[in-house]
Structure 1
Amino acid sequence: MTEPVIVDIPHKLGREGARARLASGVGKIGDMFPGGGTVKESWQGDTLHFTVTAMGQSVASRLEVFDDRVHAEVDLPPMLALFAGKIREKLQKEAPKLLE
């Protein structure tokens, strides 16, 4: 098993504000993939667990919401683990948009 991609995303929304933004935006992640993807999500306390399935691959992720940041962990399947660095860069650039 590969190491997860881990990114911390700072915000100034407070815990509830960040939760609300994530809840309304996580479903849009599937639209980022060519041909679209499906997103399954569930909350456990302040942690959003979701899986994105697109292009024959499933990626499980966790977003733990804190007062000043969101801690993201993305579990990549072996085929995508080769691109972990690029995926981390993309997350650091694009993930803050979910909190806007």
Structure 2
Amino acid sequence: MSRPLVVSIPHRLGKDEAVRRLQAGLTRAARSVPVLSIDEERWEGDKMIFRVRALGQAAAGHVDVAEDHVRVEVVLPWLLQRFAEAAQAAIRSRGQRLLTKS
């Protein structure tokens, strides 16, 4: 099993507002990435468990929302490992957009 890809995104919204924004915008953000589809998105309080598919490969992970940051952890299959750096940058960029828009 490969090491998880971890991205931490700081915010100043507080936990409740960050969860609200992520719940409202995550599916919409994923739709803007043509090779990505969401197989599962399930919230348990301030934690989201997800499974996604990209280029025919499945990846799973979770998002933990804290008062001042969001931590995304995803385990990529070996075939997608070579795109880990690009995935990390995309996750950070889209997450920051969701957490900074008014």
- Aligned-residue Cα RMSD (Å) equals 1.8
Once the two structures are superposed, residues 20-68 of structure 1 have per-residue CA deviations (whole angstroms, 9 ceiling, x without a partner) of: 0011112124313326623421112321111122431222121100001
The residue aligned with 1:47 is 47
Distance 2:79 2:35 in 1: 19
The residue aligned with 1:93 is 93
Letter aligned with residue 59 of structure 1: A
TM-score by structure 1 length? 0.86
Give the drift of 1:94: 2.5
* Native 8 Å contact 1:10 1:68 kept in 2: yes
Distance 2:61 2:34 in 1: 20
TM-score by structure 2 length? 0.84
Gaps of 5+ in 1: none
The residue aligned with 1:31 is 31
Identity over aligned residues, as a percent? 35
The reply to whether residue 83 of structure 1 matches residue 83 of structure 2 is yes
Deviates more, 1:45-54 or 1:12-21: 45-54
| Count of aligned positions | 100
Gaps of 5+ in 2: none
Letter aligned with residue 68 of structure 2: D
